[in-house]
Amino acid sequence: MHATRLGIDTPWRPLFRPRAAAKDDLGPAIRERWLELQRREPQLGRKALARRLPAEHTWLYRHDRAWLDAHSPLSRLRSPPRNRMNWAAVDQAMAHALRQTAEQILSQSPPMRVTLAELERQLGRPGWAGKRRAKLPETQATLADVTESVEAFRLRRIAWAREALERSEGSAPAWKVHRLAGLPDHLSEAVRHALDATAIPCQ
């Protein structure tokens, strides 16, 4: 019977209303769409996924945050483990490279002094070996063997200058050797003796 005929002053309402979908009913489909997009485009990050699926992201953020965090790219990313340096292999390779470079420096004319700084410069690693002495025992032994003291370098410069003068002029006076070798005025006894001697003693 109609409400107005009964004198009931109440607006009419339908006896049955469609039931709103419960969040538990929506969840599986939303989660599947979120996962499916990641399977199709694994390069997308979480922000890109949210832009592509804004409604799904909002629903998951509000109703299932833990699941969203566990199934989003950012939560799965882990920094790759750092490979441990094989210092023994590095040491062996560096020692070999230093010895080869020292031989190249010794072959240059006019002579150049073999120093740690020059070796590292020519290898393109300035300061590298010097900062890792404790980890590179073979490298340190090689450096001790191939680098030159100031005195040893001056003796080698004298030998080079004398040979160059004898080849070009037929003689090598001490004063010309001194000048060509680029020696300072104050010399050690060994260098002074080598400069004045007819034969230069071996190093």
Q: Per-residue pLDDT averaged across 140-146, rounded? A: 93
Say yes or no: 142 and 156 in one domain: no
Q: Is residue 135 part of a domain?
A: yes
Give the pLDDT confidence score for residue 4 in this predicted structure: 52
What DSSP string runs through 28-75? HHHHHHHHHHHHH-TT--HHHHHHHSHHHHHHHHHH-HHHHHHTSHHH
Residue-range definition of the domain harbouring residue 43: 23-75
Percentage with pLDDT > 70 across the chain? 80
Q: Is residue 100 part of a domain?
A: yes
Say yes or no: 91 and 143 in one domain: yes
Q: Per-residue pLDDT averaged across 2-30, rounded? A: 59
Say yes or no: 124 and 176 in one domain: no
Give the pLDDT confidence score for residue 23 in this predicted structure: 56
Give the pLDDT confidence score for residue 82 in this predicted structure: 61
Q: Per-residue pLDDT averaged across 87-92, rounded? A: 90
Q: Is residue 127 part of a domain?
A: yes
Give me the number of domains the chain comprises.
3
Q: Is residue 1 part of a domain?
A: no
Q: Per-residue pLDDT averaged across 50-54, rounded? A: 90
Whether this model's pTM surpasses 0.85: no
Give the pLDDT confidence score for residue 199 in this predicted structure: 46
Map tokens 């340096």 to a residue.
85
Give the pLDDT confidence score for residue 112 in this predicted structure: 92
Give the pLDDT confidence score for residue 26 in this predicted structure: 83
Say yes or no: 71 and 119 in one domain: no
Q: Catalogue the long-range contacts made by 18-23 (C-beta closer than 8 Å, 24 or more residues apart).
A: 23/59, 23/63
Say yes or no: 36 and 58 in one domain: yes
Three-class DSSP labels, 110-163 = CCCCCCHHHHHHHHCCCCCHHHHHHHCHHHHHHHHHHCCCHHHHHHHHHHHHHH
Say yes or no: 37 and 67 in one domain: yes
Q: Is residue 162 part of a domain?
A: yes
